[in-house]
Structure 1
Amino acid sequence: MNEVLEQKEKIFFEIEKIEVEKLPELQGLKEKQFQIVRDNPFVEITDIKTYEEAKKARTALLTARTNIEKQDKLIVSKINSFKTRVKEISQSLISITQSHEEKQQLEVKRWEETKEQEKQEKIRLEEERKGKIKDAIDLIYKKELQKIEILSFETIDTLKIDWEQNLFKTNLSQFEEFELDFTEKLILLKNQFASKEQVLREKEVQRLESESLKAEREKIRQELESLAFEKARHEAELQAKEQKAKKIREAEEERLRQERQEIENEKIRLANIEAERIAKAEALHKELLETEQAAKQKAETETKAKEDAGRLQALKPEKEKIIDYLQSIRGSIPLPVIQDESLKKEFTTAIDQINEIISKSVSIIKNFK
């Protein structure tokens, strides 16, 4: 019995230590191969004889190779059979622990799945925490951005104070690792506010300039209306004075006409009374009458000349006052400085027209009699 056990122990071996060269199927083959090579040296073909020798050598070498290949297949077949037996024994050995392995694997898998779920839950909670912080930052940003969008020039300082008292005093620790994100949003808001403030201030400057120009235009319009009113008033005064002078002149002419008529009537009356006397001294009376008529005509001419000269002399101060007044209109008000070229051109045309009207009016007054 002991001998059998000893024999079984002797057949155990390690596959890694098998020396392939010592397999029984390969014993002596190496020496045979070398011997065949020696027995069949290379033959250079030069004629029929050497040709036949070469074919014979080739056949011998070929047979040596095919014999080795057959032996190789035999060894491989034995090895495959051994492998099949090894696989069957291995599978039998595996089945001893496999069910226990699978059970344990299920437990390990259950534990790993539980830990994975816990891990995923932690990831979800972490993402949720990050999401809330980012949403809070975005909410603050959008809220302040909306304030910038509806910002007006009047509310610039109000928003600045609001930011100083609230936004810029925000507790950054609440954003944890996203403090930098919030800071970047603040910088972005500051830049957007600065751009909006610049635009609003430029628009305010434009508005003030527009209002100033509008006020300047209104001032010029009022000045032109005032000049036109003064012109109309002076023309009305001149016309009234002219009408008055005309009435005085016509009344004077009517008085002189009546006086002449009365004189003529008186002459006729005297002529009728003195008809008889005149008839007696017709020649003398005729000469006297002609002399008297000439004297009266001269007196009337001189009287009229004196009256005209007196009237012109009386009108001279009034005419000078009018002329001085018209001349003073030109320089009474300094000309305003106009920046707008179109308005400046229109204003220059209006001033030229006013000066032309004044010049014509002065000429009319000077020539008035």
Structure 2
Amino acid sequence: MTTIQPIARLLAVILIAAMVLVAIPSPVHGQGGPPPSARLDGIRLTPQLWNNCGPANLTQALSYFGWGYDQTRAANYLKPDPEDKNVSPGQMAAFVNQQTEMPTLRALWRYGGTLDLIKRLIAAGFPVIIESGFDVEDLGWMGHYETVIAYDDASQTIWHFDTYLVDESGSMGIARPYSEFDYWWRHFNRAFIVIFPVDRENEIRDILGSYVDPKYAAEQALIVARQEATEDPNDSWAWFNAGTSSAKLGRYHDAAIYFDEAFRLGMPYRVTWYQFGAYEAYFNLGRFEDVLTLANNTAATTLYVEETNYWRGMAYAGLGRFDEAVVQFDEALAFNRNFLEAQTAKDQVQNGTFAAAAPVPSQ
């Protein structure tokens, strides 16, 4: 891939960040610490159907509030094609906010979650879904959702329902040490989804504190990622998370630097099945050939990620190859009719309003 700035510049950015960390306040949550332990009762463990981790976790979290539908209700909206490999946290939150069966429920998602924040939410009676790394024997690394149901400070243990490992979950959930839980959670920049009744929104705001603002959450995630990269410059996940947070904040030059280093160090090939910040950063800098490289590499491992077609289409449009772009947007929409970004981009290409940065020549 094209490297727009040398690694020395990247390391300088990290060293500067490390020096200013002491001046940055800790995350601000609501007042008062969480109790030493808590457990949510009434969540219905939901064994996932084929390739249905996201909808299954959403269904079991919603069951806490009396949701009576099975996982196909969420799946029909989130992933009309059962082969779809990915449902993003934003899509899951949008489903809750748009569904009409229980219109008094809401959801939000953020990057940069903390164990303390999860504990506060669980103790207050709010189900939390986290996106996490997952290593399956003989299959390798992949993304996974888990529904947190309990924690205990004395044993430093967190419990979650796993829709894939149903037998291990049992009625009490899978127990994991805090450190192990966080190790896998950081593979998705510590993303979390919380579901709540609309009449308890003020309570949620009090618990979240400054995390009510998604930009604040992304800033906190960026601080943590930079610190982790400073402590271990060979930590590819730290660099990748810094890129993800920077892209979320619209700092595409910084994001591209971080992603370049993450890919140089090596990432699991499935990472672009689930996370798309690198596409966003490269696209917004005019690195369309690098977008195409990422998309083509991903397509070589699976054809069932509509975001691959979307970003390939965006790159083609950026290069002025509009007919090819429309084909890609159509393929994304054929796979998921609810993928509105693809429809918007297609409309812009066809009505002449599509805009992009000037292409950067490939090196």
TM-score w.r.t. length of structure 2 = 0.13
More strand by percentage: 2
Tell which structure's C-alpha radius of gyration is larger: 1
More helix by percentage: 1
